[in-house]
Amino acid sequence: MKIKIIIIAIVSVILSQSLNSQNNPPGYPNRAADFDVLPGFKNPPPGYGEVPFYWWMGDTLTRERLGWQLDKLLGKGITSLQVNYAHADKGGLKWGLSFPSQPALFTKEWWDLFGWFMQEAKKRGMAVSLSDYTLGVGQGSYVDAAINAYPEVNGSELFCEMKSVKADSTLQWELPEGCLSITAYHLENQKIIPASAIDLKEKVVNKILTWKAPGAVKGRRPEPVEVKWQIVCVYAKKKIPSLDPMNPVSGKAYIENFFQRFEDHFPGEAGKRFNFFFSDELDFQLSGYLWNDYFEKEFLKRKGYAIQPELPALFVDIGQRTAKIRLDYNDVMVSLSEEGFFRPIYQWQQDRGMIYGCDHGGRGKDVIEFGDYFRTQKYNQGPGCDQPFLLQDIIKNKVAASIAHLYERPRVWLEGFHSSGWSTNSAALTAAIFGNYVMGQNLLSLHGLYYSTHGGW
């Protein structure tokens, strides 16, 4: 009975996606109510098949060996091949730099080989692409080239420092670089009294704050205990290198230095011989509260009040306005990230009939990742996640599947199953695939297709 339920569920996932027709790009479903899915279910059309991670590492890449491996893959249900590079244990910002290869990535020899590889795959009914794994910020590759071309996309993060001072005492404080707001609040029972706020910017000379705390608070009864004030400084700290998604040129810079290079080298092939890209573990090297001058201007325009005097509310409770300020800040931060980075990249793929898949960060378990996981990850044609060790994590799967359903994205991308070990057998693999598909996945990238296992990598 259990087996029947699993099979029925898998069939319903596939049927609900309604397999492709000639009018749709490869891998896109036909959603017409009268579409007959049975022929496609028996013989899946282009774009419906496995998309393995093809690790181009180990031995020198040769056309002879690549061609031999392509022949071995023929007729095995492979729809596309995702070229991947692994990282070493040193040299990069997030992790080690990519292992060196022959030919080296993005050299003329590499582009020539990739073009040949694309045409050979085409002869065998397969498309090709390149994963961005190991190529992100600080990894010496195309994202760093984008940052060098547009240095303004290096972003800043907001931080907070606080000091307490007794009534009638004088505070001298050398403020952090990039101070945006400096505010004093009276403390009562260790809680901030919002109405007591005093803007201390005029008391700052050459980054030194000199301020004598009042002995009493206007309108409040004298306290039998010692009167204290809390001084809150919010400052922005530049982080180099980083990629600020709120910057309106961030998406443009990213596209120019990665996706567009493939289109420039292979005109007319986007959506055909390379019909997808995969974004793996996106990391801007920025987190928390982001900041730039553009954000400050847009906040005033969109919310109708200046954010600088309100910045302490991001870090401390200043009363009833706290929740509103935090919600308004996050809304503008995410909106600018959508407009500057996520939407332009999504649209570049969409305009070419491509599928942009992903396995990002907390995979939905961190709901405020990128400011708002759902709002930002809807800009993938194939929202997805990884499932290591043959796992079937329902939270990660349902978050990805829910994004696809809510925003009518064509696919849900499963990266499986790294670290399952050399003892992995077909029975265990099939069970893991079935289990994850029941939870909403419908596009599979097996993690291990190796050009070479030289050195036991």
pLDDT at site 24: 81
Interval 6-15 mean pLDDT: 45
Q: Are 161 and 176 in contact (CB under 8 A)?
A: yes
Asked whether residue 337 falls in the same domain as residue 213, the answer is: no
Q: What is the CATH number of the domain that holds 425?
A: 3.20.20.80
- Give me the percent of the chain exceeding a pLDDT of 90: 79
pLDDT at site 222: 54
Q: Is the pLDDT of residue 436 over 90?
A: yes
Domain membership of residue 391 (yes or no) is: yes
- Given strand 80-84, what is the order of strands in its sheet? 127-130, 80-84, 53-55, 449-450
- Under the phi-then-psi rule, with left for phi > 0, alpha for psi from -120 to 50, and beta for the rest, what region is 400? alpha
Q: Kind and range of the H or E element at 193? A: strand 191-199
pLDDT tens per residue across span 289-310 = 999 999 999 999 999 999 999 9
Confidence of residue 218 (pLDDT cuts 50, 70, 90): low
Asked whether residue 234 falls in the same domain as residue 257, the answer is: no
- Under the phi-then-psi rule, with left for phi > 0, alpha for psi from -120 to 50, and beta for the rest, what region is 151? alpha
Asked whether residue 103 falls in the same domain as residue 207, the answer is: no
Q: Is the pLDDT of residue 204 over 90?
A: yes
Q: Which 3 state secondary structure label does DSSP give 386?
A: strand
Asked whether residue 271 falls in the same domain as residue 216, the answer is: no
Confidence of residue 20 (pLDDT cuts 50, 70, 90): very low
Domain membership of residue 22 (yes or no) is: no
Asked whether residue 180 falls in the same domain as residue 146, the answer is: no
Q: Is the pLDDT of residue 10 over 50?
A: no
Q: First CA to last CA across the chain, in angstroms?
A: 41
Q: Is the pLDDT of residue 61 over 80?
A: yes
Residue that wins the pLDDT comparison between 8 and 132? 132
Task: Give pTM, 2 decimals.
Answer: 0.91
Q: Are 116 and 70 in contact (CB under 8 A)?
A: no
Asked whether residue 388 falls in the same domain as residue 445, the answer is: yes
- The CA-based dihedral angle spanning residues 405, 411, 417, 418, taken in that order and rounded to the nearest 10 degrees: -110
pLDDT at site 298: 98
Q: Kind and range of the H or E element at 333? A: helix 321-337
pLDDT at site 4: 47
Q: Is the pLDDT of residue 18 over 80?
A: no
Domain membership of residue 368 (yes or no) is: yes
Asked whether residue 109 falls in the same domain as residue 186, the answer is: no
Asked whether residue 182 falls in the same domain as residue 215, the answer is: yes
Domain C-terminal end among 204, 223, 238: 238
pLDDT at site 58: 86
Total structural domains in the chain? 2
Domain C-terminal end among 238, 271, 292: 238
Domain membership of residue 280 (yes or no) is: yes
Distance CA 158, CA 177 (A): 12
Confidence of residue 13 (pLDDT cuts 50, 70, 90): very low
Q: Would you tell me how many other CB atoms lie within 10 Å of the CB of residue 250? A: 27
pLDDT at site 192: 87
pLDDT at site 227: 76
Residue (of 327, 340, 237, 254) closest to 295 by Cα position: 340
Interval 34-43 mean pLDDT: 90
Asked whether residue 215 falls in the same domain as residue 251, the answer is: no
CA angle 448, 66, 97 (to 5 degrees): 55
Domain membership of residue 387 (yes or no) is: yes
Q: Is the pLDDT of residue 348 over 70?
A: yes
Hey, what are 245's tokens? 């998604």
pLDDT at site 273: 87
Confidence of residue 453 (pLDDT cuts 50, 70, 90): confident
Asked whether residue 170 falls in the same domain as residue 229, the answer is: yes
pLDDT at site 455: 67
Domain C-terminal end among 238, 259, 274: 238
Domain membership of residue 174 (yes or no) is: yes
pLDDT at site 221: 56
Confidence of residue 8 (pLDDT cuts 50, 70, 90): very low
Asked whether residue 164 falls in the same domain as residue 146, the answer is: no
In sequence order, the 6+-apart residues with CB closer than 8 A to the CB of 270 are 262, 263, 352, 353, 354
Average pLDDT, the chain: 91
Q: Is the pLDDT of residue 32 over 80?
A: yes
Domain membership of residue 117 (yes or no) is: yes
Distance CA 182, CA 166 (A): 17
Confidence of residue 220 (pLDDT cuts 50, 70, 90): low
Distance CA 20, CA 45 (A): 6
Asked whether residue 137 falls in the same domain as residue 277, the answer is: yes
- Print the domain residue range for 222: 156-238
Confidence of residue 11 (pLDDT cuts 50, 70, 90): very low
pLDDT at site 416: 94
Confidence of residue 330 (pLDDT cuts 50, 70, 90): very high
Interval 342-363 mean pLDDT: 95
Q: Would you tell me how many other CB atoms lie within 10 Å of the CB of residue 401? A: 21
Domain membership of residue 327 (yes or no) is: no
Identify the weakest region by mean pLDDT among 2-11, 47-56, 256-265.
Answer: 2-11
Q: Is the pLDDT of residue 12 over 90?
A: no
